Chains A and B, each alone.
Chain A
Amino acid sequence: MRHTQSHRLGTNNATVTDKQKSVHFRFDGKEYIGFEGDTLASALLAHGVHLIGRSFKYHRPRGIFGSGSEEPNALIRVIKGATAEPNLRATQIEIYDGLIAESQNRFPNLKFDLLSVNNLFSRFFPAGFYYKTFMWPSTFWMVYEKFIRRAAGLGKISKRHLEQNRYEHKYAHCELLVVGGGAAGLQAAVIAAQTGIRVIIADEQHKFGGWLLTDNNFNIDERPAINWVHDTVKKLQSAPNVTCLNRTTVFAAMDDNFTIMAERVTEHLANQPAHLPKQRLWKIRAEKVIMATGAIERPLVFSGNDLPGIMLSSAIRSYIKRHEVLPGTRIIVFTNNDDAYFTALAIYEAGGFIRCIIDLRKNPKSQIITTIRKLGIEIKTGHAVITAHGTRHIASVDIAAYDCEIQAPISDISHMDCNLLAVSGGLNPVVHLHSQRKGKLIWDDRTLCYRPNNSSVQWVSVGSANGTFQLTKVLNEATKTTSIIISKIAKHYKISKTEETINGPKSDDSKQNWAPTPAWLINSGQPHLSEKTAFVDFQNDSTAADIKLAVREGYHSVEHLKRYTTTGMATDQGKTSNINAIGILAESLNKSVAQTGITTFRPPYTPTSLGLIAGRNIGSLFDPLRKTRMHGWHQSKGAKFENVGQWIRAWYYPQEGEEFHQAVNREVYATRHYAGLIDASTLGKIEVKGPDAGEFLNRVYTNNFANLPIGKARYGLMLKEDGMVFDDGVTTRLAEDHFFMTTTTGGAAAVLAWLEELLQTEWQDLKVYLTSVTEQWSVASISGPNSSAILEACMSEDQNITDDFPFMTMKNTFIAGIPSRIFRISFTGEMAFEINVPARYGLALWSHLMQVGKEYNLTAYGTEAMHVLRAEKGFIIVGQETDGTVTPYDLGMDWIVSKKKSDFIGKRALERESMNEPQRKQLVGLLTTDPQKVIPEGAHAVLNPNQDTPMEMLGHVSSSYYSPNLKHSIAMALLKGGFNRKGQIVYIPMLNGEQPIKAKIVDPIFFDKKGDRLHG
């Protein structure tokens, strides 16, 4: 069934909606018709649908309240294909053919919502309810949390959202960014554009014009305002130096005018083209920013003020003018200022029936009031709406004469029925972006609003965002401010001096006296009853009573009040609630609003999808995967891979039917008995060059490098100033002034950055240059008893390489015709050669070695086997046996710390007494009593497994494997006073409830203690 558009006007003057084009959509399962240009809110209101959601805490019925991003109530879930997006504001969703939307926070449906029982128990849910109730016992939070989260959930997200919705990022630079495309923004942009500078103008709505789309009866330069908007937008769009972005919300203003905005590129279309993103995140570097963000009307706070059918006066005017929708038939207007009279005029002109205007001011006088009076509309001055009544929609109001000074009704209450109540409590400049930049705000007692202090030359607010509400003044201010800003960008940017560019265009806007009367809370005379239903923050359901309770409990700071009552903390960021809350707080404290202060606004201005922030950094583009040149070979042999930093390395090479442990055991066994080959290309490599290279290395390593002979290699430990191990690796002297340093795979970038920092900031006197060559060289490391035979077999007949090739030396030679640097170094404890070739030959070298190695039982092994092999020998891995709190002494590596050198980084720290404290955690080996039982890595060791928890821990297991060569589980651990505990028994309690594992503390070298195998 399609409902008729009972509330759509018969005229054809809408500034936004195009009545020629019908659009079909569904809301909560029902089919509706709207027009192109409608928002979901305007289209629903055209059908008389107000009720659109249930409130967060009390599940009270809520209706459409505003007309833009300030909307606190109308949160909607939009379903598209298999995905759905929650928490969109109906006031900002453009309808398209086939749109499917759902209300939220209701079960089973909007009219009968089960959790609305919360409303009956509202006295049990005071401010700070969660803090007060779910505190005891503290361990029960785990239990509470699940239920609270379910009850609190706002909207549901679909799991496949990111797969089916494309979000992109874009960087942009400009001299001037104009935020907001209303009167002030358009005028600023058009002035700036003629200088030729790059201008970006962004507006949240789908049409430029801002409030001129609503207040279209004004003239600018003697033509209708709307024509001025069209002409200006046309001018901007045709200028090559201007980027006009509609449907684009600037949601974050960061340091140095780094500004972030969200452009809705295709999400408003029924058929989204596949090559374009749904939304685009713009990251803008702007030299100057003009914030022409406009102002938002605030409501009035009285009992029952949250009923559907109560709307912001300006929103009603917008629906009439933009969409030709009049959302009620018997209308009351309640105001403390002149602006609502323009709404009354719009209603009158649209043929609506105004029962009366209720004005809190005693004796207001202005041109518009005179106009309204002449039309015969009743105005009750010095009156207030005390209470609104209705169940799921407003039905009537209680009215009384009201004294704003004493804050009380001063007459008997009279009753008046209505089905639409327009409320207007004054205007709040949209100062969010100014506030995000840590700009200060000034309270203006005349206009009753916080406005920016505009003390920065980098960004400036103009127009109603600056508290200037009269159109001619707005245009004038935008013109003058833009001229000043541009002159600060560069002197040579000239603006042609005409009346329009000096003073801006003139308008006939008659809003001369903008002086609302303060009335933060309408007192019914029975505050204990009425304040509980006088809502301040609609979305978070905080009431005037909550604020007063918080004040009584001592939350006097505006920041405390915000957090305790959650006022202003909902997805609307308190756009309609903050100032009212501060006003009520100020009155309760007997302070002025200025003395009370205001909370700081933080990004984002409107809710922003996490998908948009992630952009395309998802799936396979989440993080670069770095592959070695031999990767293709590993892949073709069915290798399993593991990530090491950004590198993806062969982990093990399972043969048919092999499990992980079987494969690793085979690889380890083969390497010890025949030969193994590992791709070590990912090791960090740095060329160290210069006459002071030796001295430089002496300072960064704990041991001596200056005396290293040419052609020799040495293992080194690098510490940070705190004496803790930072990195390790083998460094080789290629020439007197030339070294080749290797680092750990994961530490490569950090080591290079650290060494460069030292050279550039600490040791500028040293003549040393560093160049990263990690990727210049591919590395195949061959280990095992057969390694030298395989190497020989790869050489041409006239080469005899292995005869005179001592341990820890290097040779420049050719292998299979490939120029190579071969290092005789070992990380397995076997005779081993590390063959470095220019990366382009990496795969060729690897394939050749495997080919030649076939008859020598050469086996490719992965990183897991490498770990087992080195652990059998007790070799450490920086980052596994160390964690930034481990010294060389803790590792039992005193031998590598030079006693002779006058200095090296970390020396001073190592000399502190506590560094030799015997109870430091020290590296030991562990042998389990059960040789088959492998301890989980990271497990903790205790002396007595039967003690009460929390147990006294000795330390943790850093590495643990099954050693196929020893046929025994082996582990390394960092234990308190470990060196003196060798021979003791420790227990490793298991989280899964199994019996604790029993192990003996031993020396961490498990295999070939003398190191005979190194030499073949």
Chain B
Amino acid sequence: MDENTPHIAFGCAAFTDKKLPILKKPEFLTAPQIELSEIPHLGKLNIRCDSINRDEVSKLIQCNLPAEPNYMSNKAGRFAVSLGPDEYLLLAEPGSESQLEQILRSSHLLEHISVVNVSDAFCAIRLSGIKVRELLSKGCPIDLHPNNFYSNRTAQCELALANVILICLEDNEFVCICRTSFAEYVLDWCIDAGQEYGILISKKI
């Protein structure tokens, strides 16, 4: 998992293949109103467990699995996203996923839960800026009004033609998680849809 080992691709190919940064904006704007970048190598675990085991799993991973659907809880840089009544996505600091997986696999709960490392299956894209909601509303059918989709709200939804997990971090800050093979499409779509607001795609957060 060493990023410096030469034969390991760095992050999602959609980002590494492109010559970053990309800036697209109308001339009258001095600065882009949307910024977009990958959060590379974020640890991602798919956790399946019933509500009766939820608290114990939460203790083991030191982050509460949210009981409410379409919400996220976070603690010390770890984020647990509700994907369904018995399904969660845990986002954790890069490299910690193997250890967390081991903790859960070696616990007495193992028979009742499932934990699968999906760190490489998904790509996490951070979007920020005052026009982010406007941008997303061009492809996302859910109600993104701040009264409805606020900090720690999440949704599994469409973004144009891709299925994504959308997370609201702050008022103007979102994380969009998509299957890695859709990242290039999501990126291209955002560049296209964001041209009227000015959009900057950069390598690092």
Q: Is B188 an interface residue when CB atoms closer than 8 A count as contact? A: yes
Contact B180 A839 (CB under 8 A): yes
Contact B114 A771 (CB under 8 A): yes
Contact A626 B7 (CB under 8 A): no
With A285-B143, A616-B192, A771-B46 as known contacts, state yes or no: A627 contacts B184, CB within 8 Å.
yes
The 8 A CB mask of A117-139 against B (1 = contact, 0 = none) is: 00000000000000000000000
Which A residues are CB-close (under 8 A) to B7? 816, 841, 843-844, 847-848
The 8 A CB mask of A823-860 against B (1 = contact, 0 = none) is: 00000000000000011111110011000000000000
Within 8 A of A (CB), among B173-205: 179-182, 184-185, 188-189, 192-193, 195-196
Contact A173 B145 (CB under 8 A): yes
Which A residues are CB-close (under 8 A) to B195? 275
Which B residues are CB-close (under 8 A) to A647? 181
Which A residues are CB-close (under 8 A) to B172? none
Of A617-625, A667-675, A865-873, A913-921, the stretch lying at the interface with chain B is: A617-625
The 8 A CB mask of B131-156 against A (1 = contact, 0 = none) is: 00000011111110100100000000
Contact B121 A774 (CB under 8 A): yes
Which B residues are CB-close (under 8 A) to A276? 196
Contact B145 A776 (CB under 8 A): no
Contact B161 A617 (CB under 8 A): yes
Q: Is A632 an interface residue when CB atoms closer than 8 A count as contact? A: yes
The 8 A CB mask of B103-124 against A (1 = contact, 0 = none) is: 0000000011110111111100
- A625 CA to B117 CA in the complex, in Å? 24
Q: Is A80 an interface residue when CB atoms closer than 8 A count as contact? A: no
Residue of B nearest to A768 (CB): B114
With A838-B119, A840-B120 as known contacts, state yes or no: A625 contacts B26, CB within 8 Å.
no
- A617 CA to B192 CA in the complex, in Å? 11
Main secondary structure of the interface of A (DSSP, over half): mixed
Q: Is A773 an interface residue when CB atoms closer than 8 A count as contact? A: yes
Q: Is A966 an interface residue when CB atoms closer than 8 A count as contact? A: no
Q: Is A457 an interface residue when CB atoms closer than 8 A count as contact? A: no
Q: Which of B41, B182, B193 contacts A624 (CB 8 A)?
A: B182
Contact A625 B185 (CB under 8 A): yes
Q: Is A511 an interface residue when CB atoms closer than 8 A count as contact? A: no
Within 8 A of B (CB), among A770-810: 771-777
Q: Which of A169, A616, A624, A687 contacts B114 (CB 8 A)?
A: A687
Q: Is B60 an interface residue when CB atoms closer than 8 A count as contact? A: no
Contact A169 B120 (CB under 8 A): no
Q: Is A317 an interface residue when CB atoms closer than 8 A count as contact? A: no
With A169-B138, A169-B139, A771-B114 as known contacts, state yes or no: A621 contacts B189, CB within 8 Å.
yes
Which B residues are CB-close (under 8 A) to A169? 138-139
Q: Is A230 an interface residue when CB atoms closer than 8 A count as contact? A: no
Among B1, B121, B179, B193, chain A packs the most CB atoms within 10 A around the CB of B121
Within 8 A of B (CB), among A681-729: 687, 689-691
Which A residues are CB-close (under 8 A) to B13? 627, 629, 631-632, 843
Which B residues are CB-close (under 8 A) to A838? 117, 119-120
Q: Is B8 an interface residue when CB atoms closer than 8 A count as contact? A: yes
Shortest beta-carbon distance from A548 to chain B in Å: 49
- A170 CA to B41 CA in the complex, in Å? 32
Residue of A nearest to B148 (CB): A173
Contact B111 A844 (CB under 8 A): no
Shortest beta-carbon distance from A676 to chain B in Å: 22
Shortest beta-carbon distance from A401 to chain B in Å: 62
Which A residues are CB-close (under 8 A) to B5? 817
The tally of residues in B whose CB lies under 8 Å from a CB in A reads: 48
Q: Is A563 an interface residue when CB atoms closer than 8 A count as contact? A: no
Q: Which of A172, A173, A285, A689 contacts B116 (CB 8 A)?
A: A689
Contact A775 B193 (CB under 8 A): no
The tally of residues in A whose CB lies under 8 Å from a CB in B reads: 52
- A140 CA to B27 CA in the complex, in Å? 58
Contact A171 B120 (CB under 8 A): no
Q: Which of B120, B143, B181, B188 contacts A621 (CB 8 A)?
A: B188
With A629-B9, A775-B180, A839-B120 as known contacts, state yes or no: A616 contacts B141, CB within 8 Å.
no
With A169-B139, A840-B8 as known contacts, state yes or no: A616 contacts B111, CB within 8 Å.
no
The 8 A CB mask of A869-897 against B (1 = contact, 0 = none) is: 00000000000000000000000000000
Q: Is B162 an interface residue when CB atoms closer than 8 A count as contact? A: yes
With A285-B143, A627-B13, A844-B8 as known contacts, state yes or no: A687 contacts B196, CB within 8 Å.
no
Shortest beta-carbon distance from B88 to chain A in Å: 11
Q: Which of B48, B120, B182, B192 contacts A776 (CB 8 A)?
A: B120
With A626-B182, A840-B9, A844-B9 as known contacts, state yes or no: A737 contacts B111, CB within 8 Å.
yes
Shortest beta-carbon distance from B78 to chain A in Å: 19
Within 8 A of A (CB), among B1-36: 1, 5, 7-9, 13, 17, 25-26
Contact B121 A691 (CB under 8 A): no
- A283 CA to B189 CA in the complex, in Å? 18
Q: Is B169 an interface residue when CB atoms closer than 8 A count as contact? A: no
Contact B121 A776 (CB under 8 A): yes
Which A residues are CB-close (under 8 A) to B46? 771
Contact B137 A170 (CB under 8 A): yes
Within 8 A of B (CB), among A265-285: 273-276, 283, 285
- A631 CA to B12 CA in the complex, in Å? 12
Residue of B nearest to A628 (CB): B181
What are 19 of the A-B contact pairs (CB < 8 Å)? A171-B139, A274-B26, A275-B25, A275-B195, A276-B196, A283-B141, A616-B192, A621-B185, A621-B192, A624-B182, A626-B179, A687-B114, A689-B114, A769-B113, A776-B119, A776-B120, A777-B120, A839-B121, A848-B7
8 further A-B contacts with Cβ under 8 Å, apart from A169-B138, A624-B184, A629-B180, are: A275-B26, A616-B189, A624-B181, A771-B116, A773-B118, A775-B179, A776-B119, A839-B180
